[in-house]
Structure formats: C-alpha cells, structure tokens
C-alpha cells in the first residue's frame, strides 16, 4: 500500500465551456449524410421531397403558394437559406411570373428576418443553374440567401477547407421560423 494522496473523482460539469487549446467544429447535422453513403438523398429530388414532411424535420422556415424557404444542409454561413419553387424546374427562365414574384417576395422577407435574428451586415444572393455553374442540385431551381458579417472571414475555408458554424441547423431554423411574419 502506498500513502499517495487520494484524488476523488470530481464532477466536470463546471468545466463545460471553459476554453482549452482545442478548436471544435460541431456539425452533427452532417451525420445523416455520413450514414447515408456517397449519394445521400438523391433517389428523389430533395427539394421536391422536403415539402412532404413536417417543417422542422426538413428545415423549412416558411411556405408560400408557389415557393418555400428552407435552410441549406451544407451552409456557407449560419442562416444560409434557399428559396425553391414547389414545381420541379431547373432554370429561372422556366419559372412562371407567379413563381418569380413569390421567389422575390420570399427572398426579401428572408433578408429582413435574417437581419433581425442574426444581425448580419450584408448578403450574398445567387442562383447556380446547371452543374457547370456549380449547382449541387442542378435539376431543381433554388436561390441562395447567405447572410454575411463584417467579421465572418477567416482562414478556415481557404487553408483548412473547413467552415466554422456557430449554431446548429435546428436552432437556426427555429429562430428564423419564429421571426417569420405570418
């Protein structure tokens, strides 16, 4: 037997959130894609499929008559939204005047809501149409609304090919949906 001092196990609950030398990127929403394999959710168009499910389950924040708004599963920044027509069309020139008007109106509302809930400084808006243009889901038209902050640039995306996201998708969806005007 030794006379070494006994160190009782201590509850570490008080250490949660205490900074250490490690940087952590929390991306639990990506587990669905890891488990699904190399081509997840591609049996059917994800934008045609999403409206058939409860809003929270598919990250839908608002529904209109001809289009809806949902969070991007692979966001560039927290609050990265997509505006999609319900109709399965590939390019903007295939949209009806009603779809074009509602996509525009939903985009404006999304910008106002994101400004309110995230205090962003600006936006990137865009539609990548066709695989050659960088569309991840080229067969279904969707507009990106990416909130930007003066301080959101860092070395991660350039050097480490990593994007730091400070909020979980469910938390962002709830905040945006709660602030969306009825």
Can you give the CATH number for the domain in which 127 is found?
A: 3.30.428.10
Contact predicate 145/114, CB 8 Å: yes
Q: Taking the mean position of all CA atoms in its chain, how far away is CA 55?
A: 14
Exactly one of 80, 140, 142, 144 is catalytic; name it: 142
Q: Is residue 91 part of a domain?
A: yes
Q: How far apart are CA 143 and CA 58, in angstroms?
A: 17
Is residue 12 in a domain? no
The number of folded domains in the chain is 1
In a domain, 112, yes or no: yes
Range of lowest pLDDT (31-45, 97-111, 121-135, 145-159) = 31-45
Determine, yes or no, domain membership for 125.
yes
Query: Alpha helices of the chain — where are they, by DSSP H?
Result: 31-36, 46-49, 55-58, 97-118, 169-179
Model confidence pLDDT, tens digit, residues 73-101 = 888 888 999 999 999 999 999 999 999 99
Single pTM value for the model: 0.72
Closest CA to 88 of 48, 40, 129, 42: 48
Q: With 90 as the cut, is the pLDDT of residue 131 above it?
A: no
Q: Write out the residue range of the structural domain in which residue 118 sits.
A: 45-179
pLDDT higher for 4 or 122? 122
- pLDDT computed for residue 159 by the predictor: 47
Residue 123 lies in a domain: yes
Determine, yes or no, domain membership for 4: no
14 catalytic residue (yes or no): no
Domain assignment of residue 80, yes or no: yes
- Residue 132 domain flag: yes
């Amino acid at each position: 037997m030794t006379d070494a001092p006994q160190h009782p196990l201590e509850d570490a609950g008080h250490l949660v959130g205490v900074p250490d030398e490690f940087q952590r990127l929390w991306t639990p929403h990506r587990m669905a894609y890891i488990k699904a394999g190399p081509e997840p959710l591609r049996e059917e168009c994800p934008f045609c499929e999403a409206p058939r499910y409860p809003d929270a389950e598919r990250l839908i924040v608002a529904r209109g008559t001809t289009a809806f708004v949902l969070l991007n599963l692979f966001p560039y920044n927290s609050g990265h939204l997509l505006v999609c027509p319900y109709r399965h069309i590939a390019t903007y020139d295939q949209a009806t005047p009603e779809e074009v008007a509602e996509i525009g109106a939903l985009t404006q509302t999304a910008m106002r809501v994101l400004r309110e809930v995230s205090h962003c400084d600006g936006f990137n808006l865009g539609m990548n149409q066709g695989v050659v243009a960088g569309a991840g889901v080229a067969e279904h038209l969707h507009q990106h609304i990416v909130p930007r902050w003066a301080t959101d640039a860092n070395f991660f995306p350039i050097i480490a090919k990593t994007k730091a996201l400070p909020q979980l998708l469910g938390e962002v969806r709830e905040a945006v949906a709660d602030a969306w005007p009825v």
